[in-house]
Structure formats: C-alpha cells, structure tokens
Structure 1
Amino acid sequence: MPNSVVLLDIKPQMVTAELQLPLNELELAFGHDVNRNSDKLVERLGTQLKAYILQHVHPVGSDGRNWAVSLQDMLVQPVQQSESGPYKELTVHLVLIPTDGNSTRNFTLNYDVIIHQVVSHFALVSVRQDWDNGLSQNHPYQVGVVRMDVPTNKILPLQVNIQQGSLWTGFTAMLGLGMQHIKEGTDHLLFLLTLLLPATLLVTRKQWGQFGGVGYSLVRIFKIVTAFTAGHSVTLLIGATGLFSFPGRPIEILIALSILISAIHAYKPIFPGKEMYIAAGFGLVHGMAFAETLVNLNLDAGRMALSILGFNLGIELMQLFIIAIIIPWLIILSYNNLYKGLRVGGAITAGTASVGWMVERITDKPNIVGSAVMAAAGYAQWLVLILAIAAVFSFFAPRRQNALG
C-alpha cells in the first residue's frame, strides 16, 4: 500500500508542511468512509478531518515547548504514477509556528497520522524548500522516516536538525535558478534570437537588404536586448511580489504568438526600426511567465527582493552568454549571401515551432512539432558549432554584398 509523504518548507519565522495521505490508509485510521464520494470529502468530513490531523501532529522546540499548528486547507487529488497503482490522496497544508526563541531548523516532530492505527504504514519526511540553503521545491531531500518501532512498539518522534544557511547562499541559488530557467526556456530564447536574426540588415524597398555594418548591428542588437530585459523585469517584479497574478495558459499561448510575429518579421520586415518596442512589449509577457517560478516561494520581503534580483540577474547573464556566442557568427555571415538562406530558414523554423506550441498549449495535448523542437534543443551546442563553421567558411570565401531579401 502507498505510504504518506510529509514535505517541509523551512522559513525564518515558520515551517509550512504538506501532508500527502493515501485515502485507503487514511480510512482505516480515521474511522470514516473517506473513499465514498471522495471528491466531496472535505465538504462532508472537513471538520472531523481537521480535528483528527491536528491531534496527531505535534512539533516541539528545542526547549521542550509545543509549537502552534494551524491547518490551511485540504484537497483530494488523484495519484497516477506509483508502484501501488493509481489511487487518491488527501493533501493537507499546515503551518507550524515555533515559540519565541526557537529556531525553525531544530525541532522534534511528533507525528503519527494513520500510523497510530495502521502499524505497517510509514511517512517519508523531506525538506522541500530551504531558501537559506539554496534548496528549491524541485529538489527535496529526505530527513527521516516516521514508522512504528517494532522492538519498542512505539512511534518514535523524528528529530529535525537542518544546517544554518545564509542570505548569500540563497541569493546565489536564485542566480543559478535564473540561469537554468533561461537555459531551458527554449521559447524565450527563440523569440529573442528570431527577433535579432535580421537586426544586422538594412531595409530597402520594404525588403531585408544588405548588411548595415558592425556598428549599426551592435547598436540595434543592444537596443532590442535592453528593451526585452526592461519589459520582462517589470512584470517579473510585479508578479513575484504578488501585486498582480497572471493566468498561466494564456501567457504561454502569447509567448508562442510572440515567436510567430518575430518569425514573420525575420522573413519580411513588418515593423522595421520598431523592434525595440516589440521586444519591450512581448518582454512584459515573457516576464509574467518568469514570475511563476518565484511566486510560490512565499518568502519574507527581504528574501523575496534578493530572489527577484538574483533570478533576474541569472536570466540576464545566461541570455547575454547565449547572445555572445551566436551574434558574432551572425554578423560575419551577414557579409555574405549565405545569410539570406539562414534568415529565411530560421524564420520558417521559428514560425513552425510557434504554431506547434500554440496548438499544443491551446489543446493541452502534445504534438509532433513541439516534441521535435524540444528534442532539437538538446543539440543546441552542435547547432552553434555548425553556425560557427559556416561563418568561418563565409569569412574566407569571396565576399559579395547581400542581395535584397
């Protein structure tokens, strides 16, 4: 049978806990029919469940004083992937508040939900989030197991002792998280790179024309990148601080649309000279998606400020690194007629990917286009190498001015 899971989020003033309780096991210990009409379980038995859970969770500080425990919410959810097969569980969120002078990093957890009646049951206890030690919710680590001790026939309390962290550790972890986010954010990078694809070219008779020169190209690239940074920084700040919440799916669809518009522009100029404003506008949309990573951290004001700064700085560093290893090759290729093929091919590829993503995000079903793009992203370093080789080849080949695009 499935076991319970206890996930702890360590914060300076409190510990929040998420309990994941399988209904079949809970029914044996709770003494009520929780599986019948389980979708309405909280409505039917919410008061009794709350009293039961609070009766069996007792954290105690290092000075022997009991912490205050409050229950925030309960929700029944299905679990599909498990060794025990599909089942339903009750997810419970608790807040554990220590007494004055007690650290949230050192306490004793007296816990026997379900286990007090079902002696074969056990609970895996893990730390899911610990900002001061650079631990995000994606990489929890186990601190112990609560189960019946057979020799003594007792349920022994779990000693929770977590090493002291620091603001610097938390900040650098957010920096790394921002770098990782943009590294894996294929759609964010594709929008920016597609918008930069024609940035080295002049416009002649409403067509992309010849290379505008190194100075011209660098100024345009700087303006576009800066505008995109300013745009997403604004909405990242607004979203992460909780001033405004953004709906997830519409944002993801708009991000795919932004790639399609930049792809059309890379194929044929539709807003020449106004790329900076397009980058800033769609940067606002991309920043809404970035904010989702931070909004659920529930940090105090100081740590949230450091998180926003570190995360945004990480995004910029990785973004600038990727641009730095790609743009020089694009500038070199812009001297040659080869660039027209690269620009048109890149625009068509980006446009196809954007349409695939839009369909995928509207229907909530994966498709072959989205899967192919994500698979190709795994070979990004080889694509950059091919681009570099092509640029070196074009540099030594006879140069001709770029014909009209």
Structure 2
Amino acid sequence: MNQRCVVLLLVALFTCSSLAHELSTTFISAELRDDGSLDGQLKLDILDLKEVVTLDANANGELTWGEIEASGDALQNYVTNGLRFYTGTQQCILKLNNQLELQELNAVTYLVMSFSSPLYSSSKCAGKGQLSFEYSLLFEAAANHKAIVSLLVASEEHVFIIDNENSRNSINVELNSSSSWSTFWAFIYQGIFHILIGLDHILFLFTLLLTLCFYRHLGEWRSVESKKVIIKKTLLIVTSFTIAHSITLSGTALGIIPVMGSWIEVVIAASILFNVINNLFPMVKNLSLITFVFGLIHGMGFAGALSEFGFTEEHQLLSVLGFNLGVELGQIGLLVIFLPILLLLRESNFYRRYGMQLLSLLIGVVAIYWILERW
C-alpha cells in the first residue's frame, strides 16, 4: 500500500508531462489586405509533422535541418492540401515561402512557414461578404490535435479553435464582424495548453504539494490527520500562486511591467530547486509566502509565452483575461489529479521516510539541469 501510493504519484506526474503531445496545437495567423492579398504564418509541431510527412529521408531516426529544407515540395503539397481559404466559392491559391525556420515555444519545437496568396485575379481573396477556410492538418498524427486560427480582416481580428470535428467544414467569417467571444475562448485554451505542457510550472507546484500531508515536530516529519487541514493548506498555496502570477502576467502583458529577459527561465528553474532544498532541509515553514514570491516570477514567464502567441491591441484585455483563466483551469486540473493521492500518502510511512525525499531529489536533478541549460 505504501509503495503503491508513491507509484500512483509518479504515474500522475508522468501523465501530466505526457499531455504535451496530447495537446498538439498548430498556430495560424493570417491577414486579408485591402488589395485582396492574403499573407500569413503557420506553426506546426515538428514531432507531429514528421509523422505525416517524410522528413527523415535516410530513416536513421535523426532529423536534420538539411532534411527539413530538402522536404520543401512535400511540405508545400501537404500544407496547401490541408489549409484552404475561400471568398465565396473562389479558392485563394496559397504559396509557401521557401524560407523555413524552427521556433521553440514552451519546450515544443515548431516549424514556421510563411504563406501568401499572390495578386492574380484568379487566386486573390478579393470579394465581399465572407472569408472562409478549411483546416485538416496533423489530425492523423495526434488524436486531440487543435489549431488556433487568427484572421485579421479590415482591422478586425477573428480567432477560432479548430478540432477534428469541425476541421472539414468551412467556418465563415463575416467581414467587419466582431469576434470577442471566440478570441476569449481561444486564449483560455492557450492558457490551459501552456500550464499543462509547462513541466517547470507543474514541478514548482508539485514540490510545494509534496509535504502538505506532513508537519515537522522535533526534527521529524509527522502525518497530518485532518483532511480539512491538508485541503486548506493546498488552497492557500494555490491562491498565493494565482494572485502572484496574475499580477505579473497582467502587468507585463499590458505593458505596465517591463518585459524581462531570458533570465526569467533560469529563476523559474531555481525556484523549483529552492523548493526541493526546503523539502529536504526545511527553512521556510510558510509555503504560501514562498509560493507568492516565486509566483511573481512565474507570472513573467507566462507573459513571455502569451507574447509569443501574439494578440492584437483591440483584444488585448480579453486575451490576457482568457489566458489567465486558462492557467487557473489548468491548475485546477492538476489538483484534481494530485490532491486525492496526497490525502492517501498521509498514511504512508514509506512515503514519509523515503518517498517524499526521493521524489524531491529526482526533481532537484531536473531543476539543476534546467538551470545549466538555460544559463
């Protein structure tokens, strides 16, 4: 029973980290200009893409940049067959830019491709009424794949989330119509997506939760008998983290707090290591205080991710609110997984004597690796 509890906790952590692939997401941004030309950018998860397009030409299991560049024609065919824009019944013929690049977003590597619809009378997107599009990429590579599509038409931004159920049906965009609700929902999804693939944020909260079912007495860990006490301590930690990261996320995204450099990612990794050390050699008993201080730093990291996704000034406030709400929903999902297991662990002598310390040490090794990698 004791060992089983620890195994359950490890499985729960592995499940959360594996959500990165299950939450496969494509990002598409496009602008329909007044002259009828369409310009945009497409970001595809490279790991998903290699499942549906032969990128590894020599099949040695190692994908090189030369192999990606050599696959230009295959990529052109795949994308133009799976992404189509129309005005009425007229299709806007897309042409991919030959210049490809890789971009790292939240520990996921994306292949970035620019596309445009040339200014020919037979292919441009000029017209009145409706602009529609169809998307059917990468669904065969990831069952839960989604695409976030941002269309800028006549200074109005339209944001949509496309999944496997509506991918093959044209989604019509009434020109000059508002899309505030779809934008808000899209950024909620982005917030959930970010927290669930952000293993560093997960491990920060996880290390704080590891000791919640215990208290220190005469230099030893002892079990907390009351479930209410454990739940109360959990809510205090989560509330502190929510308030702190909401302050810096909103402030940075809205331009009130200056954008910090890459050192933020180093400090986020260091915050995990601090929690590990505090678990092994308790120094700070008020965990909600630790959570608040480092939560301010994590909020700046969230703001960096939000800025990489991009949002227009028109929907700036909605985008920030939606993203922040998505982060909170993601945290609640993690608690639903972890809290029942932690309540079981308070009865485990094995976890109290060895399990918590072992898990903390393993996470500490990961945190040190991240610090050195991000330095």
TM range (shorter): 0.5 to 0.7
Task: Assess if the C-alpha contact under 8 Å between 1:206 and 1:269 holds in 2.
Answer: no
2:283 counterpart (263, 267, 270): 270
Task: Assess if the C-alpha contact under 8 Å between 1:252 and 1:289 holds in 2.
Answer: yes
**Residue in structure 2 matched with residue 387 of structure 1 by the alignment:** none
**Residue in structure 2 matched with residue 159 of structure 1 by the alignment:** 125
Change (3 A) 1:278 1:7: closer
**Residue in structure 2 matched with residue 8 of structure 1 by the alignment:** 30
**Residue in structure 2 matched with residue 83 of structure 1 by the alignment:** 70
| CA shift for structure 1 position 294 | 2.5
SS in 2 for 1:159: coil
**Residue in structure 2 matched with residue 146 of structure 1 by the alignment:** 118
Task: Assess if the C-alpha contact under 8 Å between 1:207 and 1:268 holds in 2.
Answer: no
Aligned Cα root-mean-square deviation (Å):
3.7
Which residues in structure 2 correspond to 1:116-131 (within 5 Å)? 123-124=95-96
SS in 1 for 2:262: helix
Change (3 A) 1:84 1:202: closer
SS in 2 for 1:208: strand
Change (3 A) 1:199 1:84: closer
Q: If the length of structure 2 is used for normalisation, what is the TM-score? A: 0.57
| CA shift for structure 1 position 221 | 0.8
Task: Assess if the C-alpha contact under 8 Å between 1:236 and 1:291 holds in 2.
Answer: yes
CA–CA distance in structure 2, aligned partners of residues 204 and 309 of structure 1: 42
Task: Assess if the C-alpha contact under 8 Å between 1:195 and 1:265 holds in 2.
Answer: no
CA–CA distance in structure 1, aligned partners of residues 186 and 237 of structure 2: 28
**Residue in structure 1 matched with residue 104 of structure 2 by the alignment:** none
Change (3 A) 1:166 1:139: farther
Which residues in structure 2 correspond to 1:232-311 (within 5 Å)? 232-272=245-285, 274-295=286-307, 297-301=310-314, 303-311=315-323
**Residue in structure 2 matched with residue 31 of structure 1 by the alignment:** none
Which residues in structure 2 correspond to 1:347-386 (within 5 Å)? 347-362=360-375
2:217 counterpart (194, 204, 226): 204
- Comparing 230-239 with 163-172, greater Cα deviation is found at 163-172
Identity %: 30
Question: Which runs of no fewer than 5 residues in structure 1 stay unpaired?
Answer: 1-5, 20-78, 86-104, 108-121, 126-137, 148-153, 363-405
- Comparing 205-214 with 190-199, greater Cα deviation is found at 205-214
Which residues in structure 2 correspond to 1:302-321 (within 5 Å)? 303-321=315-333
| CA shift for structure 1 position 209 | 2.5
**Residue in structure 2 matched with residue 38 of structure 1 by the alignment:** none
CA–CA distance in structure 2, aligned partners of residues 310 and 254 of structure 1: 25
**Residue in structure 1 matched with residue 235 of structure 2 by the alignment:** 222
Q: If the length of structure 1 is used for normalisation, what is the TM-score? A: 0.53
Change (3 A) 1:269 1:316: same
**Residue in structure 1 matched with residue 197 of structure 2 by the alignment:** 184
Per-residue CA shift, 1:145-183, capped at 9, x if unaligned? 438xxxxxx785611535236211111111111111111
Question: Which runs of no fewer than 5 residues in structure 2 stay unpaired?
Answer: 1-27, 42-64, 73-85, 89-93, 98-109, 133-172
**Residue in structure 2 matched with residue 393 of structure 1 by the alignment:** none
Which has the higher relative contact order, 1 or 2, with Cα contacts under 8 A spaced 6 or more apart?
2
